[in-house]
Amino acid sequence: MPIGEERAIRALLDALPPGAALLAAREQNSHAVVSYRDVQVPVRLRWAGAGFPRDVRQALHDITTEPNDVATVVAAKSVSRGAQELLSERDIGWVTEDGAASLSLGPIWVERRATSTTGVRDDAVRWNASTSDIAEAVLSAVVEADLHRAVPGIAELTARSGRASGSVSQTLTAFDSQGWTAKGREAARNRRTLIDATGMLDSWSESLGALQGTELYTFERNPDRIAAEIRSVSASAVFSGEFAEQRLAATATSLAQVIAYLPANAFPDALTRLIAHDFEEASEGAGRLIIRPMRAPAFHGTMLIDGFRLASPIRVYAELRAQEVRGRELADAFRHREIGF
């Protein structure tokens, strides 16, 4: 079962009143059923990630009409005000992992605010280039350690993120306040643990939004040949997106674009050389190749497969998630298989 589906089920179960039950769908493409006081309500449950309007629209993208006897419920980590308004306009109920809910399912009516957690602030982290690099360094390190949730020390994170030790220290404190990480209480164990990896990954990947880059067009259609051309220009190139996913998880059946990160100090020269190799700059969405300057986290956690250096699963997931509908579905499957949280 995909991670999003599992989380959606847990959030809905937590919102239901005592005595209510959620019965799994018996057949493919059928609906789950909420049972309460001898009344059964068919429910279509959708996971909407971080719960912003963009996430909600994505979760509901294939729902045009719904039978009157089937209720749609959206579950998310939290639901923003804009998303709440969007759902209200469509008369769709919602539940969140932070305890809030707005449900009307037959005899069940729930309107509840989020449960506050002492010491945890929802607004402790302000995303910018520095906090993003540090979060990626933490998440990638955890995946490399095969899900051992110990957060690396400040010195290691400074090296992995390319950020100053003072910035790393302040950002880790913000992560603590957000409830994503926590320090051990005993002096000998005064190391942080990643206690909400899912929440951090959701928020970090959402903060990236649409990733920018220089798009290039070529008549070459074979992605391996395009990647080989990049590698000939820069031996340090790191490949991400569907090109990396195809080698790590082999879910993608076709590639629309090749995404590569190149060392920032060599980026202008590499771009010039690529144009000399019959690549030309293209408008957004028209390129077969997207290249981006590489920041420090992009190089850590990489893997060499088939002669190509691939980005960490965390970075690959973010790239997939930033794409349109197909990318989101691919991202969820990749996250479930390669990341695990």
Same domain, 275 and 226: yes
Domain count, the chain: 3
Same domain, 91 and 140: no
Is 121 a domain residue? no
Domain at 268, CATH number: 3.30.460
Same domain, 266 and 309: yes
Which residue did the predictor score with more confidence, 29 or 255? 255
Same domain, 228 and 273: yes
Same domain, 220 and 328: yes
Query: Would the pLDDT of 6 be above 90?
Result: no
pTM, two decimals, is: 0.66
Q: What band does 136 get if pLDDT is binned at 50, 70 and 90?
A: very high
- pLDDT tens, residue by residue, 92-117: 999 998 888 898 888 888 888 766 44
Same domain, 242 and 288: yes
Instruction: Tell me whether residue 163 is exposed, middle or buried, using C-beta atoms within 10 angstroms of its C-beta: 0 to 12, 13 to 18, 19 or more.
Output: buried
Element (H, E) at 43: strand 39-47
- pLDDT tens, residue by residue, 9-41: 888 888 888 888 888 765 545 578 888 878 888
Is 124 a domain residue? no
Question: What is the DSSP-derived secondary structure letter of residue 253?
Answer: S
Is 202 a domain residue? yes
Is 245 a domain residue? yes
- pLDDT tens, residue by residue, 195-219: 888 888 888 988 886 667 788 888 8
Intra-chain end-to-end CA distance of the chain, in Å: 13
Is 61 a domain residue? yes
Is 156 a domain residue? yes
Same domain, 254 and 146: no
Same domain, 325 and 218: yes
What's the rounded Cα separation, in Å, for the pair 298 and 261? Answer: 8
Same domain, 235 and 199: no
**Host domain of residue 159:** 129-208
Question: Of 208, 224, 243, which residue constitutes the final position of a domain?
Answer: 208
Same domain, 201 and 224: no
Name beta bridge partners: 108: 105
Angle at 89 between CA 103 and CA 108, to 5 degrees: 15
What is the greatest pairwise CA distance in the chain?
72
Which residue did the predictor score with more confidence, 123 or 282? 282
- pLDDT tens, residue by residue, 39-86: 888 898 899 888 888 788 888 887 765 556 788 999 998 888 788 888
Is 77 a domain residue? yes
Q: What is the pLDDT of residue 210?
A: 62
Q: What is the pLDDT of residue 118?
A: 40
Domain at 50, CATH number: 3.40.1350
User: Mean per-residue pLDDT for 129-148?
Assistant: 87
